[in-house]
Chain A
Amino acid sequence: MSEVTAEGGHGAIPTGPEVPVQPRARAVQRDWPLYEVFVRGKRGLNHVHVGSLHAPDDEMAIDAARDLYTRRNEGVSIWVVRAVDITASSPDEKDPLFAPSGDKVYRHPTFYEIPDGVPHI
């Protein structure tokens, strides 16, 4: 029998190479656009990315996000934004974008030596 793994949450399922993974264009075009969802957990906190969903427009994306991501009072405010409207930095961990801050250790308080006897600093 084909490879079966239990790591499908609710039970063992085939995960061998016979299971197709490539999407077909026909199905993709039929679906609503993808939105990324950000939730403010409570007053005083930033909005945090929690996942995504498909919705036909902004208003229904908010309603769907409420039902999907805040069923147990997880939020007091929701942002939704179409995934295609997000611009991101390169995912590479060695991205030169972040290089300028890499060698500036003097921006951290621990860079400076202060004698033990000096109070409140």
Chain B
Amino acid sequence: MSAPTLDRSATGSPDEATLQEQFDATIAADRRIEPRDWMPEGYRKTLVRQVAQHAHSEIIGMQPEGDWLLAAPSLRRKAVLLAKVQDEAGHGLYLYSAAETLGADRADLTDKLIEGRQKYSSIFNYPTPAYADVGVIGWLVDGAAICNQVPLCRSSYGPYARAMIRVCKEESFHQRQGYELLMTMMRGTDEQRAMVQDAVDRWWWPSLMMFGPPDDESPNTAQSMAWGIKRHTNDELRQRFVDMTVPQAQALGVTLPDPDLAWDADSGHWRFGAIDWEEFRRVLAGDGPKNAERIARRRAARDDNAWVVEAATAYARKHERGAA
């Protein structure tokens, strides 16, 4: 929030070197930076980009699964999916709220998303042609998101870290409902099992790409880690995800589509094959199967509902406190 400040200091504001020193000391002591603290411009901008795009990903992330709301096979599955999609909207709003403490503005961020000037996660540019995709998104995509987000609960920026704590609590339900859905299908017919395996085949590699390019192609990771915005490197998180997921795949009875996947007893990690970064770059650049559709739908949601925003504003003005 940007509340007005009662300035009682007689000495005026401290110089920038002193402010930088105080900021560095707060980071070094692993304490949190709060909204109205002085912060370096680079720190603020990095956070706005990261938090805004995290928010965009949650909002766009409603679409691939939202397509299944009416087609889910039972009332129970519809209720679960509806709760999940509603959570994604909530996560987006927690994050826009955090971004606004940095001087960003929600309506403006939405415009930037629709204009393609800010991005969202490329994972949501893949299609969801089968109901098993709902389960696999919960298991793999939300599982990968949890790997990313749990360390962010300790992010150096207070409002972001607090938003992440709320998000992580809710993601756990997302992952478990997905895995349970897949277990149910795996106990079903051959056709259902094949549907699950096909969905796993399509989502496994994009899920690994969610962690971003390898560390040697991420030149700014060091700065983000020094600022306490980022807590682990991309490769560390990806390895953690693979190690967690392989036993889950075994328990489920599906095969992960990687012939090079092998247990390495020396390191205690699962080794995996090479990731197709060309595909990642293509999808990120806008050439994924669903990029245009996702943005068109978000644009329609904004434009088609603009009259609701205007009507509510007009009603509020008319009934303003103290108005005659």
Contacts and interface: CB of A to CB of B under 8 A. Distances in A.
Interface of A: 1, 3-17, 19-21, 23-24, 27-28, 30-32, 34, 36, 51-54, 56-58, 60, 67-68, 71-72, 83-84, 86-97
A36 to B, nearest CB: 6
Interface string B125-159: 00000000000000001001100110010000001
B121 A12 contact: yes
Contacts of B108: 23-24, 27-28
Residue of B37, B49, B237 with highest tally of chain A CB at under 10 A: B49
A6 B90 contact: no
A92 B23 CA distance: 10
Contact of B124 (A10, A72, A94): A10
Contacts of A36: 1
B203 interface: no
B5 A5 contact: no
Nearest to A36: B1
B34 interface: yes
Nearest to A64: B93
B312 A5 contact: no
A96 B10 CA distance: 9
A30 B87 CA distance: 25
Contacts of A68: 90, 93-94
A56 B316 CA distance: 6
24 contacts: A3-B219, A4-B284, A5-B218, A9-B148, A10-B61, A11-B121, A11-B145, A12-B209, A14-B49, A14-B119, A15-B53, A27-B105, A27-B111, A31-B309, A51-B97, A51-B98, A51-B159, A56-B316, A88-B6, A90-B6, A91-B34, A91-B35, A91-B36, A94-B22
Residue of B14, B53, B90, B219 with highest tally of chain A CB at under 10 A: B53
A7 B224 contact: yes
Interface of B: 1-10, 14, 22, 26, 34-38, 44-46, 48-50, 52-54, 57-58, 61, 83, 86-87, 90-91, 93-95, 97-98, 100-101, 103-112, 117-124, 141, 144-145, 148-149, 152, 159, 162-164, 167, 170, 209-213, 218-221, 224, 229-230, 234, 237, 280-281, 284, 309, 312-313, 315-316, 319, 321
Contacts of B3: 83-84, 86-88
Contacts of A14: 49, 53, 119, 284
A56 B220 CA distance: 40
B167 A9 contact: yes
Contacts of A8: 50, 53-54, 57, 121, 148
Contacts of B163: 51
A16 B50 CA distance: 10
Nearest to B321: A58
A70 B221 CA distance: 35
B299 to A, nearest CB: 14
A27 to B, nearest CB: 4
Given A52-B1, A57-B315, A96-B9, A20 B118 contact: yes
